[in-house]
Structure 1
Amino acid sequence: MSDHRKTNFIDITVPITSDIVALYEILRSSIDPGVRIKASAHLLKLIENGVDVDREVILDLFGSEKDIKVATELKRALNKLKVIETYPKDPTSKYDKKLSPEEEASIVTEIEKLKRLYDKSSKEDGAFEKKYRIIERIADGGMGRIYKAFKLEDRQVVAIKFLLLEELAKQNDRERIIARFRREGEILKRLSHPNIIRGFEYGEAGGEYFLVMEHVEGETLEDRLKRSPLDFQTFKTMALQLCDAVEYLHKHQIIHRDIKPGNILIFEAEKDMRIKLCDFGLAKDKKDKKLSRFAFSAGTDDYISPQQARDARDADERDDIYSMGKTFYEMLTGRTLRNDEPYVEIELGKSAVSSRINEVMRKCISPDRKDRWQTGDELRNVLRSLG
């Protein structure tokens, strides 16, 4: 960890949709209210010119904004969206106006100016340290290290993941790993679900790449299962939450591709066990057309489907269902069902429940996608009826 960091805005390329993402990032992360005021005013212009924006993101920005002038501009943007949705044919909303190439170029130019303003305010020495104070190291992974940290602005405790530079230097595909890390940051910031870890910010500081996330006081499901399997009711409580989280992801066109006990955090809240799905480093955004031209495998052996093992580019919702089935099996038995071993029946106290849960598990991990549960909702409804 260096003493002096420079926080740089991550370059986002020319397409209009990507520049909207850049504008959201400026509004979310700039420490200069003047920059945020200009960005929010430009956002209103884009809405008036018919550019597609994400209402939920703007609502989130409005709810977390502490500067009254910026909040006022964001409120105006939300009001304009409401007018457009209520009166889609109102000529004053410019809802049907198609942007000309010149107007699109103007949008890109204006956001580039805002990005330069953002950079100017964030490239000062110590910008990262002015926002966060590291408390302790809490986890290590193959390519990353996670710290518990303190956000100075609002006294919030967060988790910050850094790419390990020494490991990164050993990799031939360094740029791909960095791009994947950035994509994880982009995906997490778009998601808002009680059973999915929240992402707040990502960037580069002093040559180190970081991702700021929600901090959860608990342990991984993997660590919990090392002690013993779960009783059925605890399993059911957690499994239903995981189904909710995965269905939410799929409705937002995200395939996780690495669901397993090690990527599920568990904690107690209001005398009940809660889960949060985390680690979106391998997640696939179905809306992202910039996929590799070459087949590759992604995920963790013994948890991924045969189809995902052959070519992760082709992974879909049913491959996440497969991984959930493997995870559910481990929750109830305390052991991993290896890919090269036959299915061993789960034995619970009630024979009727045991019989039905085995049917559910077998369907989850069917070799053929069309024979699996097709959605998280479908799987959740079946699990809810058990026990």
Structure 2
Amino acid sequence: MSPHSLQTGMEFDGYRLEEKLHTGGMAALWLVTDLRQRHIGKPGLENGVPPLIMKVPLLYSTDDPTAIVAFEVEQMIMPKLKGPHVPRYFGSGDFDAQPYIVMEQIAGESLRSRFEHAPLPVSEVVSIGIKVANALQDLHRQHVIHLDIKPSNIMFRDGLAVLIDFGLSRHDRLPDLLDEEFRLPMGTGPYISPEQVLGVRNEPRSDLFSLGVLLYHLATGERPFGHPTSVSGLKKRLYRDPVPPRSHRPDLPGWLQEIILRCLEVEPAARFDTAAQLAFLLQHPDQLTLTARAEKSQQDGYLSVIKRRLKASGIEPVAQHSVSEQLAKAPIIVAALDLTRGSESLAENLRNITRRMLQTEPGARLACLTIRKVSRIGMDESLIQQGENIHVKQLVDLKHWARPLNMSSDKITFHVLEASDPATAIIEYAHNNDVDHIIIGSRGTSALRRYLGSVSAQVVAEASCTVTVVKSSDK
């Protein structure tokens, strides 16, 4: 089935497409019917299944690989989530047939519609803040940091906030594919936290910063940091404090300004410790200790900004650790493959060596990696060749190669890196992700050996971890 030819009435995997509800930049949403009634007998669904929507990535409208990886992230995280603050997950399809996620439809509008009426009454701003903070606390308890809190990703149901779209999220106990493959800031310009700008994705208080941006906008009708579209624009929040909310709206209570500005502190440690603490103080402002933030009437002076800018220029991204640091770190093994040019014999030898190594390291995580070689000059024709998204095809090939290993889904990841220099890309991936061992193939004949052999030789020479080179048994 061609994944970009979905039509109303089509049936696959026991679902029927009823109506296309929305098409965004990276995915389409369809109202679907579960023809197999897989909900029967499931706890919490005794009274029937809710309306279902299917999220389908738009693989042929963008050449941005982050869209594909973000969809993989959401497929990994959503089955782990539960509770009233997230959509109920029902199933998903892989890229080798039709990629999708089926979840319950959350009726109503997102928080985005309320921004058209900002500034809102203080009571409504506070009510929204409490609901979103409670939802974030529940999410954080499940080892997930959302990392893309914005108006369109917040819905409301039965008086509770429901968080959606986990494509940029990080799960404490799952591999962070986005961090492993990309180095640019991940988030939405107006709401991204300072530490996210620096590439840090393991800080739960990043979500509190984003909530602070929302509260500021709802309370004043203005965005505290505008709508930056460049990395340099995003970095301004590392040193330029926002205009105090009461400068836009003098009737705003000092305690609410205190809360908003505390959420927007550059250093996570200066914000609230948890979303639960924030929710409590929004409900009980009399328990809040007021500081100079509450009465602040203008931005910090020039000298303060210069000092912060000098400090920010020397900031390096901190080493990332699991939010649950008590978890033992498992070794990371990389299997570097070139399935587009390699022989079946080489692929089989790589798999056998990988299997043996995993048997000696039962706690290890395997990262299957291939390079999509791209040109730095001119148009890259990788998006569609003969009707196929090449990034997706290589991803599917990796999964087919690894299937005989029979690994648990939380122990194996798949990465298609885009680079003009395959060896350098492998070496940088290993360095950035603290890889312990690389297994790489080397072809055995003539020009092919010279081509891939040079890659493996460079990896052996320059990688800081152990490297095992596997050769083809073809004669």
TM-score band (shorter)? Answer: 0.5 to 0.7
Q: Shift of the alpha carbon at 1:161?
A: 0.6
Q: Shift of the alpha carbon at 1:370?
A: 1.3
Task: Supply the AA of the counterpart residue of 1:143.
Answer: M
Is the Cα contact below 8 Å between 2:118 and 2:217 reproduced in 1?
no
Pair 1:140–1:334, CA change in 2 (3 A)? farther
Give 2:245's aligned residue. Answer: 345
Give 2:100's aligned residue. Answer: 210
Give 2:147's aligned residue. Answer: 257
Give 1:328's aligned residue. Answer: 215
Q: Which has the higher contact order (CA 8 A, sep 6+)?
A: 1
Instruction: Indicate whether 1:222 and 2:121 are aligned.
Output: no
Q: Shift of the alpha carbon at 1:384?
A: 0.9
Task: Supply the AA of the counterpart residue of 2:269.
Answer: K
Give 2:133's aligned residue. Answer: 243
TM-score (norm 1): 0.59
Give 1:143's aligned residue. Answer: 26
Instruction: Indicate whether 1:200 and 2:94 are aligned.
Output: no
- For residues 213 and 241 of structure 1, the distance between their equivalents in structure 2, rounded to whole angstroms, comes to 22
SS at match of 1:233: helix
Q: What does 1:286-301 align with in structure 2 at a 5 Å threshold?
A: 286-289=172-175, 291-292=179-180, 295-301=183-189
Pair 1:148–1:227, CA change in 2 (3 A)? farther
Task: Supply the AA of the counterpart residue of 2:56.
Answer: F
SS at match of 2:253: helix
SS at match of 1:359: helix
- For residues 216 and 120 of structure 2, the distance between their equivalents in structure 1, rounded to whole angstroms, comes to 10
Q: Shift of the alpha carbon at 1:280?
A: 0.4
Pair 1:203–1:129, CA change in 2 (3 A)? closer
Instruction: Indicate whether 1:183 and 2:68 are aligned.
Output: no
Is the Cα contact below 8 Å between 1:5 and 1:207 reproduced in 2?
no
Pair 1:311–1:344, CA change in 2 (3 A)? same
Instruction: Indicate whether 1:163 and 2:57 are aligned.
Output: yes
TM-score (norm 2): 0.49
Identity %: 27
Q: Number of residue pairs matched?
A: 258
- For residues 184 and 131 of structure 1, the distance between their equivalents in structure 2, rounded to whole angstroms, comes to 21
Q: Shift of the alpha carbon at 1:380?
A: 0.9
SS at match of 1:167: coil
Give 1:56's aligned residue. Answer: none
- For residues 358 and 137 of structure 1, the distance between their equivalents in structure 2, rounded to whole angstroms, comes to 42
Instruction: Indicate whether 1:131 and 2:30 are aligned.
Output: no
Q: Shift of the alpha carbon at 1:139?
A: 2.2
| Aligned equivalent of 2:257, options 358, 362, 369 | 358
- For residues 206 and 292 of structure 1, the distance between their equivalents in structure 2, rounded to whole angstroms, comes to 22
Is the Cα contact below 8 Å between 2:14 and 2:34 reproduced in 1?
yes
Give 2:192's aligned residue. Answer: 304
Q: Shift of the alpha carbon at 1:186?
A: 2.5
Is the Cα contact below 8 Å between 2:220 and 2:245 reproduced in 1?
no
- For residues 237 and 5 of structure 1, the distance between their equivalents in structure 2, rounded to whole angstroms, comes to 43
Consecutive unaligned residues in structure 1, runs of 5 or more: 7-125
Is the Cα contact below 8 Å between 1:165 and 1:208 reproduced in 2?
no
Compute the RMSD of aligned alpha carbons. Answer: 3.2
Pair 1:294–1:262, CA change in 2 (3 A)? closer
Is the Cα contact below 8 Å between 1:230 and 1:332 reproduced in 2?
yes
- For residues 181 and 52 of structure 2, the distance between their equivalents in structure 1, rounded to whole angstroms, comes to 37
Task: Supply the AA of the counterpart residue of 1:157.
Answer: P
Which structure shows the higher helix fraction?
1
SS at match of 2:94: strand
Give 1:283's aligned residue. Answer: 169
Q: Shift of the alpha carbon at 1:128?
A: 4.9
Pair 1:349–1:166, CA change in 2 (3 A)? closer
Give 1:55's aligned residue. Answer: none
Is the Cα contact below 8 Å between 2:3 and 2:98 reproduced in 1?
no
Rg larger for? 2
Q: Shift of the alpha carbon at 1:375?
A: 0.6
Is the Cα contact below 8 Å between 1:329 and 1:336 reproduced in 2?
yes
CA deviation digits over 1:324-373, x for unaligned, max 9?
Answer: 1111222223332225673242489995x610000000000001111111
CA deviation digits over 1:64-99, x for unaligned, max 9?
Answer: xxxxxxxxxxxxxxxxxxxxxxxxxxxxxxxxxxxx
SS at match of 2:147: coil
Pair 1:281–1:289, CA change in 2 (3 A)? closer
Q: Shift of the alpha carbon at 1:220?
A: 1.6
SS at match of 1:208: coil
Consecutive unaligned residues in structure 2, runs of 5 or more: 40-48, 227-235, 287-475
